[in-house]
Chains A and B, each alone.
Chain A
Amino acid sequence: QVTLKESGPGMLQPSKTLSLTCSFSGFSLSTSGMVVSWIRQPSGKSLEWLAAIDWDGDKYYNPSLKSRLTVSKNTSNTQVFLKITSVDIADTATYYCARIAAIPLFDYWGQGVMVTVSS
């Protein structure tokens, strides 16, 4: 059973760095072809793909945010992390992590973690 769960600070101030964790089970990120991605959704709006890391440690970023994003994983391949620097109000959103397996699409999603940027 594939499960993913996001965790994060809930609220942070503008200009700070947002750190998010995706903990997952039911699959191994060390398996060839596996990818974990981050996607976000401001309240009432559509979805935006942010970043991804694959089984080989290769990293992919949305060019529109690339300068502010860092994706990484732990050595046991059970968690993926996302850092977003210099946050502002526009980064207020629900952040999801999701799996990509054989086909480039998100087949399993976490429940999401809401992040509010406010002074």
Chain B
Amino acid sequence: DVLMTQTPVSLPVSLGGQVSISCRSSQSLVHSDGNTYLHWYLQKPGQSPQLLIYRVSNRFSGVPDRFSGSGSGTDFTLKISRVEPEDLGVYYCLQSTHFPLTFGSGTKLEIK
């Protein structure tokens, strides 16, 4: 299975600040079709995960442009600008290039 390693585990932030979350995979996530199937989710307290970013850098419908994704190969980053209270929760990366699909271990964004 592809191991997805997220850092940091916990990320204190001031409201209005900017943060970055790293996700590294044990294998390249470039699919044979040329796409990279690396996605980002936010799980707010007591809720299901919600899709933020798909295929590295594409924002899902309704996701504000404060969220941006980048990276390639095995190294990916989610950046959140102007952090708002509604952004707090646990962020997960997901790879769907290789079977079985695997999630990162999560990064908890919390108020400093």
Residues of A within 8 A of B (CB): 46-49, 60, 62-64, 96, 103-107, 109-112
Contacts and interface: CB of A to CB of B under 8 A. Distances in A.
Secondary structure type dominating chain B contacts:
loop
B37 interface: yes
Secondary structure type dominating chain A contacts:
loop
A46 B93 CA distance: 10
A96 B54 contact: no
B69 interface: no
A71 B33 CA distance: 28
Interface of B: 1, 37, 39, 41, 47-51, 54-55, 60, 92, 94, 96, 99-106
Contacts of A110: 48
Contacts of B106: 46
A111 B105 contact: no
Contact of B100 (A49, A105, A109): A49
Contact of B104 (A46, A103, A105, A112): A46
B39 A111 contact: no
Q: Which 3 pairs, one residue from A and one from B, show the smallest C-beta to C-beta distance?
A: A109-B48, A104-B96, A47-B103
Nearest to B102: A49
Interface centre among B1, B48, B94, B103 (most CB of A within 10 A): B48
Contacts of A46: 92, 103-106
A49 B47 CA distance: 17
Contacts of A107: 51, 60
Given A46-B92, A112-B48, A104 B103 contact: no
